[in-house]
Chain A
């Protein structure tokens, strides 16, 4: 099992550009989560999906952020247009219902986004 795979590992972009972060969850997991980590705000839940359906997107900071999960093996988090304050590490995590209660999440290694 390759774990949760995120790409790219690092992204540097100019303000105003579109940024797309990608995540491949563990096969068989039916929950997928997107988190953002910053020094100022810690680890924030942005959105999570169950069976590819967005369940709670109340953590998405504003309309510039959008997330999709077109199938069980792929999800994207898009920022358009990007701003310097979006600079952070973005984590994807996956789990399955029983595992949430027993094993918690499996996190990816994150994407470090820098917007200049």
Chain B
């Protein structure tokens, strides 16, 4: 079974600073990887996904993530954070050989200081 770990419960950055949110997964084959964002009082919205090909994937809202097989990681990055990026971020891993139903990490709460 697949699993995903987000080691940081909270991350605080200043507006305009760069951001990296960590995600490590466990899966025996090539996984399907996702990042979702949850704004307060809202459901989760897909930011980006990786299935195959280029290991650097671009998403919405200026986010990108890089798949590193050797490190079993799929970290989310943004070069310059905006105050509106404050939200909960979830990494998820899906089984490529199965029904794709993803397993979600516990989430990382991003706090943005002005």
Interface size classification for chain A: 20 to 34
Cβ of A104 and Cβ of B104 under 8 Å apart? no
Cβ of A101 and Cβ of B43 under 8 Å apart? no
Cβ of A105 and Cβ of B42 under 8 Å apart? no
Cβ of B43 and Cβ of A104 under 8 Å apart? no
A70 at the B interface (CB under 8 A) = no
Interface string of A98-111 (1 = CB under 8 A from B): 00111111011110
A4 at the B interface (CB under 8 A) = yes
Known: A45-B101, A101-B32. A107 touches B41 (CB 8 A): no
A79 at the B interface (CB under 8 A) = no
A34 at the B interface (CB under 8 A) = no
Residue B105 contacts which of A42, A91, A101 (CB distance < 8 angstroms)?
A42
User: Closest approach, in angstroms, between the C-beta of B46 and any C-beta of chain A?
Assistant: 4
Cβ of B43 and Cβ of A93 under 8 Å apart? yes
User: Closest approach, in angstroms, between the C-beta of B76 and any C-beta of chain A?
Assistant: 15
Interface centre among B32, B46, B51, B101 (most CB of A within 10 A): B101
Residue A43 contacts which of B34, B100, B104 (CB distance < 8 angstroms)?
B104
Interface string of B40-60 (1 = CB under 8 A from A): 011111100101000000000
A109 CB contacts on chain B under 8 angstroms: 41-43
Known: A91-B44, A107-B44, A109-B41. A43 touches B90 (CB 8 A): yes
* Chain A residues packing against B (C-beta within 8 Å): 4, 33, 42-43, 45, 48, 55-56, 91, 93, 100-105, 107-110
